[in-house]
């Protein structure tokens, strides 16, 4: 009964905001078209802009749909610009749940009374979203951890019953996505079922606060000793799948520019730091914070850490493989060198372009996308938009863009927007180019070769001593498996075996050299430390 009621409510909201009229425009002619037509005609909001109607619909449908809209807004490679811009306005803010519920969840998760964990626990949440809310508190010292005494912390608590709500709404989303893909003319291009599946993964990741804690811990470890960014420490003994306790960070939102200026913060340097931090995450670490909007970034005003960025909320992160990084770096470098043939060739080398694709055609499409940007000053060029246009062009050639690259592109747009808000004259390419060149040098230079050799050395040290035995076994098996029919065949085998033995001098020299190199790699640190 509850499910039927929810479906009817969704049906009413879709009609109220004129979504049936939008559907009718894109629906294939048939029975469904004529059923939807009167509903579209009678909608009170049918004259509003389509992006606004979609945003209002999602807001009215509730927190899970709001979050889905936020995820959908990142797929600018699929959506028209007006819809993507409107969906980006969605605010993930919902009324908090009761402090009593919050306290009960924390106590149940940690198996202790609140008074045994916290000397103070603020019942009023400092932030409340669709998935969780955050409280402030002060820890008590324990026998195991006396250093906890007086430590200020932030306690993130998962919203009660949220999993049931999410599963119910996801089921409805899958049904809606199926019908859009089945009956809409743009259904196949928009890939709604694929988008819903991606959202399913994202939101379930956010429901596991242990996963978020591990993301936070990894990012903190990557920036140990940094004078650009601060990331809270995690209290692992006080973390659970639905509760996360971390160090409380003090600062003001990066969006409050007037307060930052009044405090004496160098906004230009802050912009450079933000861009450098993000690209360091992406290309040096291959692990980046994928939700870098102003609500998740603060600036420290403490004397010891004045002007440093503070990162919060680690539910969404992205990873880049060496292949991804190579693809992106070389694309950007080729773009700024106007080497469009190289950009096209990179798409082929990535293996994402169908084998029958014409490189010349792809090159022409890339040129048409990229060339107009060079009429602008370099500081006005958006790397996020360039990447978006490349993705859109790639889709025309049936290239399947990897989800992690789409996530990176969305985050890059956020970082660029934030950077230019802080410093309108920010030359993004000037800031980013040294990071990319450093990465390239580390990959293809002597240093890169040395690092890869050190990485592979332990495995080779195990395998090399067994090579002579494996070669002999191979030769013996080769002789054993041959059917010796006549004298000539036997002579051929003997010759083959003799030739193989003739290579032993070469093999021996090679193995001795390889072993010497491995020994040098393995024992060099010992000699350096003496």
pLDDT digits (tens, 9 = 90+) for 348-383: 777 666 767 788 888 888 888 888 877 777 677 778
Reported as a single tens digit per residue, the pLDDT across 450-476 is 555 555 556 655 565 665 666 656 655
The answer to which of 5-19, 54-68, 91-105, 490-504 has the lowest mean pLDDT is 490-504
Separation in Å, CA 312 to CA 102, 126, 356, 390: 20, 13, 46, 31
Strand partners, 128: 133
Q: 77, 291, 324, 423: which one is catalytic?
A: 291
Annotated active-site residue 291? The verdict is yes
Average pLDDT value for residue range 46-50 = 71
Alpha-carbon distance of 414 to 327, in angstroms, equals 21
Position 6 in a domain:
yes
Same domain? For 223 and 289 the reply is no
Separation in Å, CA 143 to CA 24, 237, 245: 67, 13, 19
Position 196 in a domain:
no
Same domain? For 60 and 121 the reply is no
Same domain? For 459 and 433 the reply is no
Give yes or no for residue 481 having a pLDDT over 90.
no
Give the domain extent around 265.
Answer: 250-444
Same domain? For 262 and 124 the reply is no
What pLDDT does residue 480 have? 55
The answer to which of 48-57, 108-117, 399-408, 477-486 has the lowest mean pLDDT is 477-486
Percent with pLDDT over 90 in the chain: 24
> What one-character-per-residue DSSP string does 94-121 give?
-PPPPHHHHHHHHHHHHTS-HHHHEEEE
Q: Is 214 exposed, middle or buried (0-12, 13-18, 19+ CB in 10 A)?
A: middle
Q: Are strands 118-121 and 132-139 parallel, antiparallel or unpaired?
A: antiparallel
Q: Are 139 and 149 in contact (CB under 8 A)?
A: yes
Domain termination residue (choose one: 418, 444, 470): 444
Query: What value does the mean pLDDT of the chain take?
Result: 77
Same domain? For 240 and 254 the reply is no
Question: Cα dihedral angle (293, 257, 133, 118), rounded to 10 degrees?
Answer: 130
Q: Say which residues have a Cβ less than 8 Å from residue 296's Cβ, sequence separation at least 6.
A: 289, 311, 312, 313
Q: Is 287 exposed, middle or buried (0-12, 13-18, 19+ CB in 10 A)?
A: middle
Domain termination residue (choose one: 33, 57, 92): 92
Position 483 in a domain:
yes
Same domain? For 43 and 33 the reply is yes
What pLDDT does residue 1 have? 58
User: Given pLDDT bands bounded at 50, 70 and 90, which one contains residue 232?
Assistant: very high
Same domain? For 418 and 497 the reply is no
Phi/psi for 27 (5° steps) reads -85, 140
Domain termination residue (choose one: 444, 478, 504): 444
Position 179 in a domain:
no
Same domain? For 326 and 415 the reply is yes
Q: How many domains does the chain have?
A: 4
Same domain? For 143 and 257 the reply is no
Position 131 in a domain:
yes
Same domain? For 238 and 255 the reply is no
Same domain? For 243 and 258 the reply is no
Phi/psi for 327 (5° steps) reads -60, -45
DSSP class of 141: P
| CATH code, domain with 111 | 3.30.200.20
Average pLDDT value for residue range 42-52 = 68
User: Given pLDDT bands bounded at 50, 70 and 90, which one contains residue 267?
Assistant: very high
| 514 or 440, which is more confident | 440
Reported as a single tens digit per residue, the pLDDT across 422-450 is 988 888 878 888 888 777 777 665 555 55
pTM: 0.73
Position 494 in a domain:
yes
Q: Is 496 exposed, middle or buried (0-12, 13-18, 19+ CB in 10 A)?
A: middle
Same domain? For 211 and 272 the reply is no
């Amino acid at each position: 009964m509850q499910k039927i009621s929810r479906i009817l409510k969704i049906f009413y909201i879709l009609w109220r905001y004129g979504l049936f009229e939008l559907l009718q425009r894109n629906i294939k002619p048939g029975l469904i078209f004529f059923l939807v037509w009167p509903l579209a005609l009678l909608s009170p909001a049918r004259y509003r802009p389509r992006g606004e109607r979609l945003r209002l619909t999602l807001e009215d449908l509730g927190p899970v749909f709001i979050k889905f809209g936020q995820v959908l807004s990142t797929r600018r490679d699929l959506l028209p610009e007006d819809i993507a811009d409107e969906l980006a306005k969605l605010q993930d803010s919902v009324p908090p749940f009761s402090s009593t519920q919050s306290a009960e969840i924390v106590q149940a998760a940690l198996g202790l009374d609140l008074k045994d964990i916290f000397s103070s626990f603020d019942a009023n949440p400092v932030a409340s979203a669709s998935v969780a809310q955050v409280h402030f508190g002060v820890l008590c010292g324990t026998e195991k951890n006396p250093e906890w005494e007086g430590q200020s912390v932030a306690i993130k608590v998962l919203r009660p019953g949220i999993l049931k709500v999410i599963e119910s709404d996801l089921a409805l989303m899958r049904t809606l996505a199926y019908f859009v893909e089945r009956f809409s003319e743009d259904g196949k291009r928009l890939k709604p079922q694929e988008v819903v599946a991606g959202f399913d993964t994202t939101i379930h990741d956010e429901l596991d606060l242990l996963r978020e804690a591990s993301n936070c811990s990894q990012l903190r470890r990557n920036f140990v000793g940094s004078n650009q960014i601060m990331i809270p420490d995690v209290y692992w003994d006080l973390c659970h799948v639905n509760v996360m306790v971390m160090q409380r960070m003090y600062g003001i939102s990066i969006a409050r520019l007037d307060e930052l200026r009044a405090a004496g913060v160098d906004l230009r340097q802050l912009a450079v730091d933000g861009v450098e931090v993000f690209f360091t995450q992406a290309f040096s670490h291959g692990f980046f914070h994928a939700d870098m909007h102003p609500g998740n970034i603060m600036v420290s005003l403490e004397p010891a850490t004045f002007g440093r960025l503070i990162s919060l909320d680690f539910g969404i992160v992205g990873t880049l493989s060496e292949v991804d990084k190579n693809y992106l770096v070389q694309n950007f470098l080729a773009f700024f060198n106007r080497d469009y043939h190289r950009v096209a060739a990179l798409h082929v080398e990535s293996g994402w372009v169908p084998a029958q694709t014409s490189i010349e055609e792809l090159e022409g499409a890339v040129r048409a996308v990229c060339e107009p940007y060079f009429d602008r000053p370099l500081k006005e060029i958006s790397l996020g938009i360039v990447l978006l246009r490349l993705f859109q062009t790639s889709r025309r050639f049936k290239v399947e863009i990897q989800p992690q690259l789409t996530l990176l592109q969305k985050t890059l747009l956020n970082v660029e927007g934030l950077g230019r808000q802080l410093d309108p004259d920010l030359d993004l390419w000037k800031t980013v180019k040294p990071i990319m060149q450093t990465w390239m040098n580390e990959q293809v230079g002597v240093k890169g070769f040395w690092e890869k050799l050190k990485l592979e050395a332990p495995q080779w040290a195990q395998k090399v001593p067994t090579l002579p035995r494996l070669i002999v076994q191979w030769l013996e098996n080769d002789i054993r498996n041959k059917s010796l029919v006549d004298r000539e065949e036997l002579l051929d085998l003997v010759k083959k075996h003799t030739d193989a033995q003739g290579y032993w001098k070469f093999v021996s020299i090679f193995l001795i050299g390889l072993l010497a190199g491995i020994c040098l790699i393995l024992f060099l640190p010992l000699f350096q430390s003496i």
